[in-house]
Structure 1
Amino acid sequence: MIGCLLIHGFTGAPYEVEPLANYFRHHTNWIVSSPTLPGHGEQDSLRGITFQQWIDTAEAHLQHLLDQCDTVYLIGFSMGGVLAGYLATKYKVDKLVLLSAAIHYIHPIQMVKDIGGMVTDLCRGRLLSNELFIRYSQKVKRTPFVASLEFRKLVQHLKPSFEHVLTPTIILQGKLDGMVPYKTADIIYELIGSNEKQVRLMENSKHLICHGEDRDEVIDAVYHFLIGKDVENH
Structure 2
Amino acid sequence: MPVQDHAEEFRGPGSGENAAVGVLLSHGFTGSPKSMRPFAEHLAAEGLGVAVPRLPGHGTTWRELNTTGWQDWYAVLDNELQRLRKEHDKVFVVGLSMGGCLVLRLAEQHGADISGVITINPSVQTDDKRAVLLPVLQRLVPAFPGISNDIKKPGVDEGAYDRMPLRALYSLSQLWKLTREDLPKVTQPLLLFRSTVDHVVEPSSGRTVLARISSRDVTETLLEDSYHVATLDNDAPRIFADSTAFIQRISADA
Query: What is the TM-score when the length of structure 2 is the normalising length?
Result: 0.74
Is residue 228 of structure 2 the alignment partner of residue 210 of structure 1?
A: no
Specify the alignment match of 1:11 in structure 2: 30
Question: SS state of the match for residue 203, structure 2?
Answer: coil
Q: Select which of 17, 30, 34 maps to 2:52.
A: 34
Specify the alignment match of 1:50 in structure 2: 69
Tell me by how many angstroms 1:101 deviates.
0.5
Structure 1 residues 106 and 208 mapped into 2: Cα distance closer, same or farther (>3 Å)?
Answer: farther
> In structure 2, how many angstroms separate the alpha carbons of the residues matched to 1:65 and 1:26?
18
Listed one character per residue, the Cα deviations across residues 121-177 of structure 1 (whole Å, up to 9, x for unaligned) are: xxxxxxxxx9559979x7343x43211111112212222121210001111011111
> In structure 1, how many angstroms separate the alpha carbons of the residues matched to 2:103 and 2:29?
13
Is residue 108 of structure 2 the alignment partner of residue 89 of structure 1?
A: yes
Counterpart amino acid of 2:123? Answer: A
Specify the alignment match of 1:166 in structure 2: 187
Aligned CA RMSD, in angstroms, stands at: 2.7
Structure 1 residues 227 and 132 mapped into 2: Cα distance closer, same or farther (>3 Å)?
Answer: closer
Q: Select which of 97, 100, 104 maps to 1:78.
A: 97
Question: SS state of the match for residue 227, structure 1?
Answer: helix
Q: Is the 8 A contact 2:24 2:81 kept in 1?
A: yes
Taking every aligned residue pair, what percent have the same amino acid on both sides? 24
The residue correspondences of 1:50-129 to structure 2 (distance < 5 A) are 50-91=69-110, 92-105=113-126
Question: SS state of the match for residue 178, structure 2?
Answer: helix
> In structure 1, how many angstroms separate the alpha carbons of the residues matched to 2:240 and 2:128?
24
How many residues were matched structurally?
Answer: 207
Specify the alignment match of 2:211 in structure 1: 190
Structure 2 unaligned segments of length 5 or more: list them.
Answer: 1-19, 130-147
Is residue 247 of structure 2 the alignment partner of residue 220 of structure 1?
A: no
Specify the alignment match of 1:180 in structure 2: 201
Question: SS state of the match for residue 185, structure 1?
Answer: helix
Question: SS state of the match for residue 80, structure 1?
Answer: helix
Structure 1 unaligned segments of length 5 or more: list them.
Answer: 109-129
Say which is worse superposed, 205-214 or 151-160, in terms of deviation: 151-160
